[in-house]
Chain A
Amino acid sequence: MPRSWISPRARASALAAVTALALAGCGGATIDSAASGTSDASPSGSNRPCGTVNLAVSPWVGYEANAAVYRHVAEKRLGCTVVTKNLKEEVSWQGFSTGEVDLVLENWGHADLVKKYVTEAKVAVDLGPTGNRGIIGWYVPPWLAKEHPEVLDWKNLNTFAQKFATSESGGKGQLLDGDPSYVTNDAALVKNLGLNFAVVQGGSEATLIQSFRQAEAKKTWLLAYFYEPQWFFNELKLQRVNLPTYTPGCDADPQKVACDYPPYELNKIARVSFASTGSPAAALAKAFRWTNEDQNEVSRSIAVDKLSPADAAKKWADAHPDIVDGWLKNR
């Protein structure tokens, strides 16, 4: 790839070329001509003015995928202006009350925030599911699931506790947890299931992913909290450990929980005054619904193929016009 590096000589000559251009005092497109040439083609078929949407974007790829596709459709098809704000969940929700955030596009439960902003302050409203199902659980790297499939049953975990031990787990098996933003019952689960394990706080998603990568590469034992949909499954097909089956209400008391995590219906949350404007952007947010496979496709483009979120969204939207049209049908 000759163009993929620039030798010092090439750089020097490039500088010389720039200087030559400058000395000539002319040449190249002027800004005014560029400005007049780049006016966007007007979006097709918008019947109501859309205005501006303040969209919160939280720091994980799945969310990024939702946001990029929503933005693509809102801007290109409805002529909206979408302002994205990069925020952690707590700050996003706070934005509903200060009026700075109109829309959250992938919410994982957050019962406390729902209570505070939807039930009590009544500044936010549930816009329904995104269609994505969030799965939370304990996972092991693929090599381990293949060579020791018995670890996939929680009842066998104690047999292998010593294999899972690390310098951090104090002689017990290690259960690695990640970003504290996500709800976990892990400490209670370990206790109530009588497991000889210690929860070690990894503290971030990056730590979890990197630990899985190393565990797979080095064939070391690892048991960690993880979740789907997640772009990392494109790289490694982590296997989920079966915990005692979830039944509604079995997790009612966080101290006594001894069952698996419930499946999460991921949903969309909007600021009340945005949702009630009747703006096409709000209607689109309400109609936005797709599957885990759809999201994974976009996530994969972003995380593995290194496309920009905008390009990844365009690629998906062009390939699935039927789904996009479905969202826009009831305007």
Chain B
Amino acid sequence: MTTIITDPGSRVLRPVRRRWGVVAVVTLWILLGTLLSGRDTLALGSADITSFHRWLNDLRASIETGLAGGSPVSALITGVRTTIGAVVGFGQDLVARPSFGRPVPGIGWLGVVAIAGYVTAALAGARVAVLTVTGLTFLGLQGLWQDSMDTLTLTAAAVGLALVIGLPIGVAAGVSPRTRRLVTPVLDVAQTMPAFVYLTPLTLVFLIGPASATITTLIYALPPVIRLTVHGIRTVPGDSVEAAVSLGTTGRQRLVQVLLPMARRTIVLGINQTIMAALSMVTIAALIDAPGLGRTVLKALETLDVGVAFNAGLAIVVLAVMLDRITSTVADRGARPRRDTGRARIRAVALAVGGLTTLWLVQLSRTYLWAARFPETITTPWGPLEVRLGDDIARGASLVTRAVETSASGVTSTVKDAGTILLIDPLQALLSGSPWWLVTAAAVAIAWLVAGTRAAVTALTCLLLVLATGLWSDSMVTLAATGVATAAVMLLGVILGVWMGRDRRVEAVLRPQLDAGQTMPAFVYLVPFVALFGASRFTAIAAAVLYAAPAAVKIVADGVRAVPVETLEAAVASGSTTWQVITKVQLPMARPALALALNQGLMYVLSMVVVGGLVGAGALGYDVVAGFSQGEMFGKGLAAGLAIVVMGILLDRVSQAAARRVGAVGSQLHTRR
């Protein structure tokens, strides 16, 4: 970074030269790749395994025998398992399953709704409380009360653990660069290693039950809260910290009185992202007997019942939107100043009355059946009314899907064929059809040109590691699909992001749909996607785009909105058209946001590789699925997981380094003007 400040002139000139350099490298790559096509591609049959994979199998076997022996570690494992089991079990007893010798949970649905409404009202205000009460009641009307409560309990346990572990680590890494360097790679692995890889070993260690399910969820959900805590602490303005130092505060005082309060908003957003990540693991955890909505989704898919799967998926979306709004409102409120004392008194009275009402409703839910178990029929003055909203949603969703499948599949299969021939096949031919050494040389050269020497070294290391997994060819096929998907994500991200960032009304319409795209389990829409696009790489890419685009759209919109109003007004006053404002002012100024969107888009696309393996994308995703399904393929699955992680790190580091460069040059251009 320092070189940029000391040597600005050459950096401004270089982008042009660099661009020509990249063009030259790619041209050479295409030429040589066509010439040497099919040589040294290191392809491995889908049922074949290498000695490295066999070694991983043996490693697993020896760990298994070691565990069976009974060691000090196994005492610790038993402790962790029984503790988590007890906590989750208590939560289920309280809200989800018949317990305490009664045919109903400790607190019935009415009590849960009352408590949730009361707590939300106290923390986040009346509007969010109404949303919460409506949302929870909707879950009951869907006929999914018990499943939802099971899911909520498991999510709460995983998120609770994530906070207990993640917040201290995040604070430590926020204040100490050394800790940060230690923690970051671990977080990268946790976020990109597919859960299918560690599901079976985990159930061997922590057995089948709530402990394994919670830990699986925890592994994926822990990184966001740590990352955002670090980010929050590091972005506290330097002068605030300096002021505190000049007042003679100790390090501890600075942390508690300056850093943490000022980072609060970002930390709460981290908690929010952790909750979203935990909810996205619901279906995966159901593969090892986790109770809840995920199980309903999987059961429905055994018979390809898209409607029932959608109904359960919708419940997950409702939970996610509810928890998202609660946490983001809490985050926003923390930034606001306290109210005057007169209103505080009214608030205290309201809280007291609300509290008593809540207690009364809880008592009702412990006494009467209609308040304990969500009623299947409601007695009205016009006669009994059956609660069948879930069935209606399922039937409606099935009808719509069937209609779309039959009417659109002609067009969609044409789109698939065109996209495959024009985009996927050429890129794949270049990556997996060229000799491995040519791909490596070209990739390292490009990394050096766009991101510098350090990035080039990272690229070389990562590619050699991919080579070492024995899955070079599969990795290149997956990389090609990842590239196409990420390009589509960025295209959508820029178009929808700019539109949403410029218009609040558009945001109001789009945002719930983006939330749904992020939390609706992929298993729900895979079946219709296969109908539309067949078993193909294109289907996998479409699913990945649906999941990854929302994050990119949100980040771009945020960046566009952050452009100062005065700058926009000045541009409009000087006679710029809307198109000029977007392309000359808003997009250039939102460059850091675009870089972040690219980075997050990539990570989310990579996390869908395994899902792609379930719908015909083959390659690494299929290897991971096969490793989960067959003992002999375990080693290969693990190697494929490692390849995904390494490629994630490669793409992340290079794109971040490139973005830093572009961002630095961009901001220089702005200051010069």
Contacts from A to B (Cβ < 8 Å)? 3-6, 10-11, 13-14, 17-18, 21-22, 25, 27-31, 34-35, 38, 59-61, 64, 85-91, 94-95, 97-98, 100-101, 112-113, 116, 166-168, 176, 179-181, 184, 187, 199-204, 206-211, 213-214, 217-218, 231, 302-303, 306
* Chain B min CB distance to A102 (Å): 12
Is the C-beta of B420 less than 8 angstroms from some C-beta in chain A?
yes
In the complex, are the beta carbons of A85 and B389 less than 8 A apart?
no
Residues from chain A with a CB closer than 8 A to the CB of B629 are: 88-90, 179-181
Docked pose: A207 CA to B540 CA in angstroms:
12
Residues from chain A with a CB closer than 8 A to the CB of B387 are: 6, 14
Contacts from B to A (Cβ < 8 Å)? 45-47, 68, 102-104, 110, 141, 199-200, 203-204, 207-209, 286-289, 295, 298-299, 301-305, 361, 364, 366-372, 378-382, 385-389, 391-392, 395, 405-406, 409-410, 416-417, 420-421, 526-527, 530-531, 534-538, 613-618, 621-622, 625-626, 628-633
Of chain B, the residue at the smallest CB distance from A63 is B302
Most buried by B among A11, A22, A181, A201: A201
Residues from chain B with a CB closer than 8 A to the CB of A22 are: 110, 361, 364, 371
In the complex, are the beta carbons of A31 and B372 less than 8 A apart?
yes
Residues from chain B with a CB closer than 8 A to the CB of A38 are: 103
CB-CB nearest 9 A-B residue pairs: A180-B626, A181-B629, A303-B303, A167-B420, A210-B530, A203-B614, A28-B370, A204-B614, A202-B535
Residues from chain A with a CB closer than 8 A to the CB of B622 are: 180, 201, 203
Given A91-B208, A166-B536, are A201 and B46 neighbors across the interface (CB < 8 Å)? yes
Residues from chain A with a CB closer than 8 A to the CB of B615 are: 202-204, 207
* Chain A min CB distance to B234 (Å): 41
Docked pose: A38 CA to B104 CA in angstroms:
12
Residues from chain A with a CB closer than 8 A to the CB of B614 are: 203-204, 206-207
Given A31-B103, A90-B630, A201-B618, are A168 and B537 neighbors across the interface (CB < 8 Å)? yes
Given A17-B381, A85-B208, A98-B204, are A217 and B406 neighbors across the interface (CB < 8 Å)? yes
Total of A-B residue pairs, C-beta within 8 Å? 204
Main secondary structure of the interface of A (DSSP, over half): helix
Docked pose: A181 CA to B200 CA in angstroms:
14
In the complex, are the beta carbons of A14 and B364 less than 8 A apart?
no
Main secondary structure of the interface of B (DSSP, over half): helix
Residues from chain A with a CB closer than 8 A to the CB of B537 are: 168
Which single member of B103, B288, B420, B526 contacts A91 (CB below 8 Å)?
A: B288
Most buried by B among A38, A94, A179: A94
Docked pose: A18 CA to B416 CA in angstroms:
51
Docked pose: A86 CA to B296 CA in angstroms:
11
Docked pose: A167 CA to B381 CA in angstroms:
60
In the complex, are the beta carbons of B298 and A180 less than 8 A apart?
no
In the complex, are the beta carbons of A17 and B378 less than 8 A apart?
yes
In the complex, are the beta carbons of B304 and A88 less than 8 A apart?
no
In the complex, are the beta carbons of A6 and B388 less than 8 A apart?
yes
Which single member of A61, A89, A207, A213 contacts B616 (CB below 8 Å)?
A: A207
* Chain B min CB distance to A124 (Å): 14
Residues from chain B with a CB closer than 8 A to the CB of A91 are: 199-200, 203, 208, 287-288
In the complex, are the beta carbons of A13 and B631 less than 8 A apart?
no
Which single member of A3, A13, A59, A184 contacts B386 (CB below 8 Å)?
A: A3
* Chain A min CB distance to B285 (Å): 11
In the complex, are the beta carbons of A14 and B631 less than 8 A apart?
no
Q: A29-B370, A30-B369, A302-B303 are in contact. List 17 more A-B contacts (CB 8 A).
A: A5-B388, A6-B385, A13-B382, A17-B379, A22-B361, A31-B104, A100-B208, A112-B632, A166-B536, A179-B629, A200-B618, A203-B614, A203-B618, A206-B304, A208-B535, A217-B406, A303-B302
* Chain A min CB distance to B402 (Å): 10
Residues from chain A with a CB closer than 8 A to the CB of B302 are: 59-61, 64, 303
Docked pose: A225 CA to B286 CA in angstroms:
27
Docked pose: A6 CA to B384 CA in angstroms:
12
* Chain A min CB distance to B362 (Å): 12
Of chain A, the residue at the smallest CB distance from B47 is A187
* Chain A min CB distance to B100 (Å): 11
- Report 26 cross-chain contacts, Cβ distance below 8 Å, ordered by A residue: A6-B387, A18-B370, A21-B370, A27-B368, A29-B370, A31-B104, A31-B367, A61-B303, A86-B287, A87-B288, A98-B207, A167-B420, A167-B421, A167-B538, A179-B629, A180-B626, A180-B629, A180-B633, A181-B629, A187-B45, A200-B618, A201-B613, A204-B625, A206-B530, A207-B616, A214-B405
Residues from chain A with a CB closer than 8 A to the CB of B392 are: 4-6
Residues from chain A with a CB closer than 8 A to the CB of B45 are: 187
Docked pose: A7 CA to B600 CA in angstroms:
42
* Chain A min CB distance to B476 (Å): 15
Of chain B, the residue at the smallest CB distance from A11 is B141
